[in-house]
């Protein structure tokens, strides 16, 4: 009656399991398998969520890039507790991650910024992310100005454009199962070691 095959393993390293699921989803998702919801809490205790792209990950952290002057950047500067959420519809799976976020080493951010298309680099200078834009033409004008400024020159990373790494202390795996008896396993980091527990759905 019950399908007890393919349950989420408990005696594994959650980063390895994340990798397995991420690689599998990368083959089946229509687009952006690395899109994740990032939730932050403002200094007034107001939560807010948006999608960012995961650019690298390992035991030390899950890395995304953004503008530190943005709404999320400001929230993070006053409260470094954040959560991430992946939902891979094609696999009927979810991963939740909670942890503490910090700005990564500027050399690593430079390297990633330099690998981006020239237009994206110009865009990073042109966009005052999350600030009021009265007219779309203002953004276009800024783009053209930056393009002109750096004509034939290499474009440096804006000082406010940073990489952020979320160091996980909780990772929960969820997958759809029959009769809505979904499978959940949560891994918590306790004294530098991952401990896992299966949860009721
Ligand atoms: C698929 C997708 C990928 C995105 N990737 C990023 C990203 O990597 N970095 C980023 O700053 N914003 C990204 N955004 C835009 C954010 O969701 C958000 O609109 C923006 O960062 C401003 O958020 P804030 O005002 O809360 O700071 C992405 C949006 C989508 C839909």
pLDDT digits 0-9 by tens, 118-155:
999 999 999 999 999 999 999 999 999 999 999 999 99
Tell me which residue has its CA closest to atom 10 in ligand 1.
Answer: 66
Burial of 199 (0-12, 13-18, 19+ CB in 10 A): exposed
- Cα separation, 31 vs 25, in Å, equals 10
Q: Which atom of ligand 1 is nearest to the CA of 64?
A: 8
- Cα separation, 34 vs 47, in Å, equals 22
Q: Which atom of ligand 1 is nearest to the CA of 50?
A: 17
Q: Measured from the CB, is residue 71 less than 6 Å from ligand 1?
A: yes
118 is catalytic: no
* Ligand 1 centre distance from Cα of residue 67 (Å): 10
CATH 3.50.50.60 corresponds to the domain 14-115+160-199: no
pTM of the model: 0.97
Instruction: Identify the active-site residue in 50, 96, 102, 180.
Output: 180
pLDDT digits 0-9 by tens, 8-54:
999 999 999 999 999 999 999 999 999 999 999 999 999 999 999 99
Task: Answer yes or no: are the C-beta atoms of 14 and 194 closer than 8 Å.
Answer: yes
pLDDT at 3: 80
Q: Measured from the CB, is residue 133 less than 6 Å from ligand 1?
A: no
Burial of 179 (0-12, 13-18, 19+ CB in 10 A): exposed
Q: Measured from the CB, is residue 173 less than 6 Å from ligand 1?
A: no
pLDDT digits 0-9 by tens, 46-94:
999 999 999 999 999 999 999 999 999 999 999 999 999 999 999 999 9
Give the number of other Cβ atoms within 10 Å of residue 144's Cβ.
12
Angle between helices 118-126 and 136-149 (to 10 degrees): 120
């Amino acid at each position: 009656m019950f399908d007890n095959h393919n349950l989420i393993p408990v005696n594994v390293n959650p980063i390895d399991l994340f990798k397995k699921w991420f690689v599998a989803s990368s083959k089946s998702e229509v687009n952006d398998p690395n899109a994740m919801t990032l939730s932050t809490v403002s200094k007034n205790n107001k939560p807010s969520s948006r999608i960012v792209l995961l650019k690298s990950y390992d035991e030390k952290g899950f890395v995304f890039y953004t503008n530190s002057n943005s709404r999320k950047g400001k929230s993070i500067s006053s409260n470094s507790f954040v959560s991430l959420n992946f939902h891979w519809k094609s696999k009927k799976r979810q991963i939740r991650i909670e942890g503490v976020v910090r700005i990564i080493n500027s050399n690593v951010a430079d390297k990633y910024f330099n690998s981006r298309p020239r237009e994206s680099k110009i865009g990073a200078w042109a966009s005052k992310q999350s600030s009021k834009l009265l007219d779309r033409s203002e953004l276009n004008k800024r783009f053209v100005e930056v393009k002109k400024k750096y004509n034939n020159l290499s474009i440096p990373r804006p000082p406010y454009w940073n990489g952020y790494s979320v160091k996980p202390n909780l990772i929960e795996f969820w997958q759809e199962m029959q009769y809505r008896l979904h499978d959940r396993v949560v891994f918590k980091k306790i004294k530098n070691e991952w401990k896992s527990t299966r949860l009721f759905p």
